[in-house]
Amino acid sequence: MRILLIEDEKRLTDVIKKGFIESGFAVDQAFDGEEGLYLAEFESYDAVILDLMLPKIDGTSICKQLRDKKITTPILMLTAKTQLEDKITGLNVGADDYLTKPFEFAELKARINALLRRKYQQLENTIVIDDLEIDPIKRIVKRGNKIISLTPREFSILELLTRHKDQPITRTQIMEHTWDYNFDSLSNVVDVFIATLRKKVDNGHQKKLIHTVHGVGYKLSLR
């Protein structure tokens, strides 16, 4: 499960990101409207959390532009005050739900889950690469019908690699995707997780899926 968080208050994004990562979500962040719009359009997310007040392009406008482009990803809007006006505008413009600050993280999460349930009522939505199958909604990973059980971090890393099949992903990218703060990231944790992922995903299989890109990072691909 992968969500995009478009919000410029660093302290708030830290909390939200951490919370979702603990629940096994992958979280991408954008700190201004421009970046947010770009990511929402060209990457694929299960939901978007969108602040109303943003640098460069405001939330309402982002929402409108996305809907105009037929992008139907569920959007939950955040706003600073209970302003009926904003709320009406937001929903008119294509947002699916609405939450006013300040809020409890638990409530945000409950609402996101509600949106996701609605979106995925009985749809299957798995990513398949060769005989590896990963279901980000149910958080189930299988290789050739055999269920592989992964810890939250392992899952998060594998999900990132899977979504960028064939593309080398750097350790820095993995860190930023999986941990909440990264700027003291000169350790080899990523390498260690890759090692355990290999044990669980590739060991005993002819075809290895996790590949080292020397000097760069790792990638998931058939060869």
Partner DNA sequence: ATCTTCAATCAATAAAATTCTCATACAAGC
Partner DNA sequence: GCTTGTATGAGAATTTTATTGATTGAAGAT
Interaction partner, residue 119 (its own copies, DNA, none; CB < 5-8 Å by kind): none
How far CA 75 is from CA of 150, 203, 204, 213, in Å, comes to: 29, 39, 42, 36
The 36-75 contact track toward its own copies, x by CB under 8 A, reads ----------------------------------------
Q: CB of 10: closest distance to its own copies in angstroms?
A: 7
Which residue of 70, 106, 204, 206 would you call a contact of its own copies, by CB under 8 A?
106
Q: Report the partner that residue 102 touches, choosing among DNA, its own copies, none (CB closer than 5 to 8 A by kind).
A: its own copies
Rounded Cα distance between 34 and 125, Å, is 29
Q: Which does 166 bind (CB under 5 to 8 A by kind): its own copies, DNA, none?
A: its own copies
Whole-angstrom distance, CA of residue 158 vs CA of residue 134: 9
Residues 117 to 176 in contact with its own copies, rule: CB under 8 A: 138-140, 147, 149, 151-152, 164, 166-168, 170-173, 176
CB of 206 to DNA, least distance (A): 16
Q: DSSP letters along 110-170, please? A: HHHHHHHHHHTSS----EEETTEEEETTTTEEEETTEEE---HHHHHHHHHHHHTTTS-EE
Q: Does 102 bind its own copies (CB under 8 A)?
A: yes
Pairing between strand 75-79 and 97-100? parallel
Number of chain positions touching its own copies (CB under 8 A) = 48
Q: Helix 171-178 to helix 152-163 angle, to the nearest 10 degrees?
A: 130
Q: Hunting for tokens 């990218």 — which residue is that?
A: 173
5-35 burial by CB neighbour count: b if 16+ within 10 A, else e? bbbbeeeebeebbebbbeebbbbbbbbebeb
Q: Is 31 in the site for its own copies (CB under 8 A)?
A: yes
Q: Minimum Å distance from CB 125 to DNA?
A: 23
Residue ranges that bind its own copies, judged by CB under 8 A: 10-12, 14-15, 18-19, 21-24, 29, 31, 35, 102-107, 110, 138-140, 147, 149, 151-152, 164, 166-168, 170-173, 176, 182-186, 213-217, 221
